[in-house]
Amino acid sequence: MDHTYYVYILASRRNGTLYVGVTNDLIRRVWEHREGLVEGFTKKYCVKQLVYFEVFDDINVAINRETRLKKWRRRWKIDLIQKENVLWDDLYKKLTAPAPLPDWLVQANQSARSPQI
């Protein structure tokens, strides 16, 4: 059975407070942080923006990576985020945004609205 695990970094804002975590359900876990359902650090410091994540297929490797990242200097974490997400976009919004309609459906919808001549 295939499993997917994520190591993620949340931020309160660009260059703000950072939090490193690990999960097997990234969208659910970030949603819990965003909604304040997780007591502790992220709730206390309003750390809600997903700014970085990595994907793993082995939980032990993921936990090891999380442990290492937590020990990193703050500057190194910021550099890691900047390398992949220069604008510090909230990746949760991108992961949960509705998928755009396929071109064929958009075109069919437009032609259905056009007056027939």
- At residue 108, the pLDDT reads 78
For the chain (117 residues), the mean pLDDT of every run of 10, in chain order, is 92 97 97 94 96 98 98 98 97 90 80 63
Q: How far apart are CA 40 and CA 22, in angstroms?
A: 15
Question: Which residue's structure tokens are 């027939």?
Answer: 116
Kindly report the CATH number assigned to the domain that includes residue 32: 3.40.1440.10
Of all helices (H) and strands (E), which one includes residue 93? helix 91-96
Round the CA-based radius of gyration of the chain to a whole number and report it.
Answer: 19
Could you tell me the CA-to-CA distances from 43 to 24, 38, 71, 75 in Å, in that order? Answer: 20, 7, 21, 23
Number of independent structural domains in the chain: 1
Which residues have a Cβ under 8 Å from the Cβ of 77 and sit 6 or more positions away?
9, 18, 20, 69
- Domain of 26? 5-113
